[in-house]
């Protein structure tokens, strides 16, 4: 099994504290007089043509090492006990080593709703194998250009990526989504992927885990790129033209239920958490982690009540204010 690289990701993801989180520059306008009782609030959501009970999920993280295997079992236990989706880390480690069992979480957690993940540099035939072996509800295809560029052993050829995108859209037997890894998907990339057949995106923006930081800690010397990419709120604002024609999901720096709600207000169908959940299962006994996640559901209902929203889709109508770094000018806004 591959050990060092995957374990480094976990170690440095837990160590990093982003200097800026865009959710802090967004404020929601509350409603003092609601139309609903608390027990009328409905947390269910829909994306990729499927119904889900809760609008948040454990996003792609690990697998491919002993530590990764242990973490995957804990994440699976947490997800199964709370009824949320778990997405495994990139399945490529298991494709390289058929004896790798670190992704096999369904055996002990048969009621788990599972997604799996693969890099865009992998030919779609490898994606088909991942789907056959994991039987996931959906497949995330990740783009991680800056991470590859910063890794000494990273990919240097990118011309095949668009072709691979088209193949993934065409050939997968389960729904696919395109996903960033914490640098924020840009609108042009989403439009290209849309034209090639993708109908779902996890914009995964900056504000939480930084793979630039991780690679710099692993021996790189380009720490000036640690804050590369767009923040999660910025990426969601930029993604607005996609909201009506595709399912946009959000992740990156989500710390608690209020951050989740802000993503849903900006049009996300669901919200992914990686580092926050990693920290939870690494620092707390599983029973406490389960209680925390179940508490998040109550918190979401409470906040939705205070915003006068009965359904997740109502959140899209909530007014908000943007401060600080989100008070920006785009090139097209600047009048000469």
Q: Does 117 bind ligand FNR (CB under 6 A)?
A: yes
Q: What mask, x for binding ligand FNR by CB under 6 A, covers residues 12 to 31? A: -x------------------
Residue 295 burial (CB < 10 Å; 0-12/13-18/19+)? Answer: exposed
Q: Does 229 bind ligand FNR (CB under 6 A)?
A: no
Q: Does 273 bind ligand FNR (CB under 6 A)?
A: yes
User: Among 239, 60, 32, which residue's Cα sits nearest to residue 147?
Assistant: 60
- Give min distance, CB of 120 to ligand FNR, in A: 10
Q: How many residues bind ligand FNR (CB under 6 A)?
A: 27
| CB neighbourhood size of 255 (10 A) | 16
Q: Long-range pairs for 216-223 at CB < 8 Å and ≥24 separation?
A: 216/150, 217/8, 217/12, 217/15, 218/5, 218/8, 218/12, 218/151, 219/152, 220/150, 220/151, 220/152, 222/150
- Find the helix or strand (DSSP H, E) in which 158 lies: none
Instruction: Measure the CA–CA gap between 75 and 306, rounded to whole angstroms.
Output: 31
Please state the φ and ψ torsions of residue 190, each to the nearest 5 degrees. -65, -40
Q: Does 62 bind ligand FNR (CB under 6 A)?
A: yes
Q: Does 297 bind ligand FNR (CB under 6 A)?
A: no
**Tokens representing residue 167 in the block:** 């193949």
- Give min distance, CB of 57 to ligand FNR, in A: 10
Q: Does 60 bind ligand FNR (CB under 6 A)?
A: yes
Q: Does 113 bind ligand FNR (CB under 6 A)?
A: no
Nearer to ligand FNR, 292 or 308 (CB): 292
- Give min distance, CB of 327 to ligand FNR, in A: 23
Binding-site ranges for ligand FNR (CB under 6 A): 9-10, 13, 59-62, 89-90, 117, 140, 142, 179, 181-182, 204, 208-209, 251-254, 273-276, 278
């Amino acid at each position: 099994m591959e050990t060092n690289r995957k374990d480094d990701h976990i170690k440095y993801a837990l160590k990093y504290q982003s200097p800026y989180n865009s959710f802090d520059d967004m404020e929601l306008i509350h409603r003092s007089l609601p139309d609903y009782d608390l027990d009328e609030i409905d947390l269910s959501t829909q994306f990729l043509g499927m119904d889900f009970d809760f609008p948040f999920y454990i996003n792609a993280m690990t697998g491919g090492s002993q530590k990764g295997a242990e973490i995957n079992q804990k994440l699976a236990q947490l997800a199964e006990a709370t009824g949320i989706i778990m997405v495994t880390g990139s399945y490529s480690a298991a494709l390289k080593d058929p004896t790798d069992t670190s992704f096999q979480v369904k055996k002990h957690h048969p009621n788990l709703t599972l997604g799996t993940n693969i890099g865009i540099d992998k030919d779609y035939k490898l994606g088909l194998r991942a789907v056959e072996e994991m039987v996931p509800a959906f497949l995330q295809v990740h783009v991680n250009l800056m991470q590859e560029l910063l890794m000494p052993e990273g990919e240097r050829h990118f011309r095949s990526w668009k072709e691979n995108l088209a193949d993934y859209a065409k050939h997968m037997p389960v729904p696919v989504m395109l996903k960033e890894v914490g640098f924020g998907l840009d609108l042009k990339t989403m439009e290209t992927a849309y034209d090639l057949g993708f109908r779902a995106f996890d914009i995964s923006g900056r504000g939480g885990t930084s793979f630039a930081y991780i690679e710099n800690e692993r021996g790189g010397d380009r720490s000036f790129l640690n804050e590369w990419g767009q923040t999660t709120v910025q990426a969601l604002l930029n993604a607005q033209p996609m909201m009506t024609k595709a399912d946009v999901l959000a992740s990156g720096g989500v710390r608690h239920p209020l951050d989740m709600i802000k993503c849903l207000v900006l049009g996300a169908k669901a919200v992914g958490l990686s580092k926050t959940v990693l920290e939870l299962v690494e620092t707390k006994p599983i029973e406490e982690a389960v209680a925390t996640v179940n508490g998040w559901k109550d918190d979401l209902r409470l906040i939705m009540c205070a915003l006068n929203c009965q359904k997740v889709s109502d959140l899209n109508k909530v007014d908000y204010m943007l401060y600080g770094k989100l008070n920006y000018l785009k090139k097209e806004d600047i009048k000469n």
